[in-house]
Amino acid sequence: MTATWSALVTLLVGLAATIYLVAANDPGEILHLLAAAGWGLLAVIALRLPQILFAALGWAPLIDDPMRPRWAVLVRMRWVGDAVNALLPVAQVGGDVVRAQLLVRRGTGTAPATASVAVDLATELTAQFAFAAIGMALLLRLPHQGGDATVWLAAATGLCGVMAFAFLAAQRWGLFRLVERLLVPLGGGSGPASAGQARSGRAAGMAAGLHEAVLRLHRAPRRLWSSAAAHLASWLLGTLECWAALRILGVEAGLAEALVIESLGQLARTLGFMIPGALGVQEGGFVLACGLFGIPPEQALALALLRRLRDIALGLPGLVAWRWEAMTSARTTRAAATASAGRTPTR
C-alpha cells in the first residue's frame, strides 16, 4: 500500500511538471506541431521496433536455463515489460518484474529467470552509460550553447556510470545473498497463510538460489559482453528514431545532434526511474538537450510528447497481450487442477 501511494504521488508530481512545462511555453504551437506530424508517428513507431529487438537480444544470453524461450518470445516479453514501465503507475522496474514472471510462466527456473533480469538491468545501464559518454564526447565537438548546462550534463553522465558499476559490483559482492537472507525465512512456516504471507512466500521462492545464479552469470564474461553490446546497439538505434522525429517536427538536425539529444534525453529518463514513466523528467531532459542546439522548447516538448504517443500506441496492445496471456494461463491452470481432482485412483 505504501509503495502504491508513493507511485501515485510521484506520478502526480511528474504530471504537474509536464503540465507546467507545456503551459509555460506555447501550448497552441506544441499542439500544432503534433498535429502536423500526422502519419509521421508511424515512422517513429516503426523505428522503435528494432530497439526492442536488440534489447531482447541483450537479455537472451543471460537466461542460463535449458527452457529459455525462442528470441521471438523474448521480444514479446520485452515489449510487454516496456509497456508496463511506460504506462502503468509503477517505478520503472515494474516491467522488469513482469518480464521475470513471464519467463517463469514459460518454464524457466525461478532463480535463473530472476537473475537474468537483474543482470540484464545492470548490463543495460552500463551500455546506457557508454551511450551517454558518446553523446557527451560528440557534444564537446559540436557547436552548442549553454556552458553551465554542459557541466551538469557531464555530472549526470558520471552519475549514470557510478550507478551502473555500483550495481554490477553489488551483484558480484553479495547483494542477492542479502536478499536471500532477508526473504527466504519469510517463506517458512506451516498452517493457513494470509494473503500477505502468501506474497512473502512467493518472494522467498524467487530469492532462493538467486545469489548463485547471479554469480554464474558474472563468471561468464562472454555473456555479459554480448548483452552489453546488444543493449548499446539498441540505444544507438534510438538515434534514428530521434532524428526522424525531429525531421517530422521541422527541425533540421543531423545524426550527430540527434545522438546527443537522444542520449541526454534517455539519461534524464533513467535518472528519474522512481517516477512512473519518468513523466516530467523526460520532457525536461529533452528541453535541456534540444536547447543546447538552439531548438525552441516548443519543438523539444513536441518531440517528448511524440515519444509519449509512441509509448501509448505500442504500450496499450502490450498491456492487453500481457493480461490476455495471464488470463489464459490461469484458465489452463484451473482446468488442469479440475481434471486432476476428477481422476479416480486405480489399483
For residues 295 and 315, the answer to whether their CB atoms sit within 8 Å is no
In a domain, 87, yes or no: yes
- The DSSP output letter for 25 is S
**125 and 132 Cβ atoms separated by less than 8 Å:** no
Query: At a CB cut-off of 8 Å and minimum separation 6, what does 73 contact?
Result: 106
Q: Count of residues for the chain?
A: 347
Q: Which triple of cell numbers denotes residue 183?
A: 526473504
Whole-number Å distance between alpha carbons of 10 and 1:
14
DSSP 8-state symbol, 186: G
Task: For residues 238 and 251, give the distance between their C-alpha atoms in angstroms, rounded to a whole number.
Answer: 17
In a domain? residue 9? no
Q: Could you give the count of Cα atoms lying within 13 Å of 176 in the half-sphere of its Cβ? A: 27
Exposure string for 61-71, b = 16+ CB within 10 A, e = fewer: bbbbbeebbee
Q: How far apart, in whole angstroms, are the C-alpha atoms of residue 159 and residue 136?
A: 13
Q: Which domain holds residue 57?
A: 20-153+221-331
Q: Show Cβ contacts of residue 268 under 8 Å, excluding neighbours closer than 6 positions.
A: 156, 278, 281, 282, 284, 285, 286, 288, 289
Local structure of residue 249 (DSSP, 8 states): T
Count: domains in the chain: 1
Q: Are 103 and 63 in contact (CB under 8 A)?
A: yes
Q: Which residues contact 111 (CB under 8 A, 6 or more apart)?
A: 206, 208, 209, 210, 212, 213
Residues 299/33, Cβ–Cβ less than 8 Å: yes
Q: From first to last of the 347 residues of the chain, give the pLDDT tens digit.
A: 555 667 778 888 888 999 999 999 999 999 999 999 989 999 999 999 999 999 999 999 999 988 899 999 999 999 999 999 998 877 777 889 999 999 999 889 989 999 999 999 999 999 999 999 999 999 999 988 877 778 888 899 999 999 999 999 999 888 888 877 766 554 444 444 444 444 444 555 556 688 899 999 999 999 999 999 999 999 999 999 999 999 999 999 999 999 999 999 999 999 888 888 888 999 999 999 999 999 999 999 999 999 999 999 999 999 999 988 878 777 766 766 666 666 655 44
Residue 205 lies in a domain: no
Lookup: cell for 70: 525462442
Is there a contact between 328 and 320 (Cβ–Cβ < 8 Å)? no
What pLDDT is stored for residue 247 in this prediction?
A: 95
CB 289 within 8 A of CB 25: no
328, 333, 335, 341: CA torsion to nearest 10: -170
Whether 7 is in a domain gets the answer no
**Residue 261 belongs to some domain of the structure:** yes
Considering the domain boundaries, does residue 63 fall inside one? Answer: yes
Question: Any alpha helices (H) in 174-250, and if so which ranges?
Answer: 175-183, 195-207, 210-218, 221-248
Q: Is the dihedral of CA 135, 94, 74, 207 positive or negative?
A: positive
Residue 200 lies in a domain: no
Residue 49: CB partners within 8 Å, gap ≥ 6? none
Q: Within a domain: residue 76?
A: yes
Q: What are the backbone dihedrals phi and psi of residue 131, each rounded to the nearest 5 degrees, phi first?
A: -65, -45
